Copies of this chain bind each other. A is one copy, B any other.
Amino acid sequence: MKDEINIFSPATVANVSCGFDVLGFCLESVGDNMLIRKTKKKGIYITKIKGDFDLPYETELNVAGVSALAMYQTLNVDFGFEIEIDKKIKPGSGIGSSAASAVGSVFGMNQLLGNPYNKTQLTQFAIKGEALASKCEHADNLAPAIFGGFTLVKSIVPLVILEIPSPSNLYATIIHPQIEIKTFEARAILPKTIPLNNAITQWANFGSLIHALHTNDYDLIKQSLNDVIVEPHRSKLIPYYNEVKKTMINAGALGAGISGSGPSIFSLSKGVETAKHVADNVSNLYAKTGIAFDVYVSKINTQGIQIIK
C-alpha cells in the first residue's frame, strides 16, 4: 500500500438558486491540491500550507485537520497522517473552500487505508471540519466534492445524499469578486420565517430542476433556476449583483445565482462556447467596478475529488 497520495479537491457550487441548503454541483477547473502522507508518529499533523490565506497549522483549528481527526478517532492504527495543503480556493469565496479542505484529508486517508469507508461516511467525517468554518453542520458543498456531479443532500440526520444526473454539455461560469462574506454572516441575514406562497414557488422550481436534470431539458433548467427565498436578501451583500446576473443571462446563460453564501456568482450554460462568452461579458462588466475578481469556466465535474497521478 502507498504511503502518500496527491489529491485534487474540487471547488463546488452550493444552493444552485432554488436548492438552498440541499443542492450542489462540482467544478473541474478550480480546486486545491493536497498531499496526505502516513507518518510513524500517531496523530494528525498539518505540515505545510501553500497560499497566502493565513490558515492555522493547529490540527484542531484547521478544517482539514478537524475532519481528519473525526475519521482518525474511529481508526485503531499505530501510525498517523500528515497533510500538506496547496490552497488555491480562497476562503470565504463561496465556492466551497472549506469543503475542499474538509474532504481532501479524509478522502486521502481513506485511500491510504485501502478505502474502508464509503462516500457517505467520508462526508460524515468532513461535516465536522465544515462545521468549524461555517458554525453549522451542512453538506451541500461536501457532497458534490466527494460524489461529483449534482448532489441533493436529502437530510443530515441521517445523512442521505442523492446523486442527480445532469446533461453532458452543461458548463458553469463563475465570477468571484475579491470581497469576503462569512457563511455565518450570510446566514444571519436570512429571515427565520418565509411566506408559504414563496416556499411553494421554491419547491415547484426545485422539483422542476431535478426533473430537468434527469431529462436533459436545458430549457426547463433555465425556467427552474429561480430563487425567491434567499437571493433577495443575500444579493445585497454582493456589489453589482443584479448587473452581473443580467449580463450573464443576456450573454446566453440558462440562469445565474449566488454561489453558496457568496460573494461568488455562478451561471450555468449549454456548451462551453456560451460559458466562455458569459465569462468574457461578465469580465468586461466587472473590470469597470474597480473591485478585483476572478472568473472561472468549468465543465460539471462528474467524478468529484480524485487522485492526481
Contact = CB atoms under 8 A, between A and B. Distances in A.
Interface of A: 18-23, 152-155, 160, 162, 164, 190-196, 199-211, 214, 220, 223-224, 229
Nearest to A204: B22
A218 to B, nearest CB: 15
B204 A153 contact: yes
A206 B206 contact: yes
A162 B211 contact: yes
Contact of A206 (B155, B194, B207, B223): B207
A196 B203 contact: no
B200 A190 contact: no
Contacts of A162: 208, 211, 220
A192 B202 contact: no
A98 to B, nearest CB: 20
Contact of A207 (B152, B199, B200, B201): B152
A224 B155 CA distance: 10
A304 B191 CA distance: 41
Contacts of A195: 192-194
Given A22-B207, A203-B202, A196 B194 contact: yes
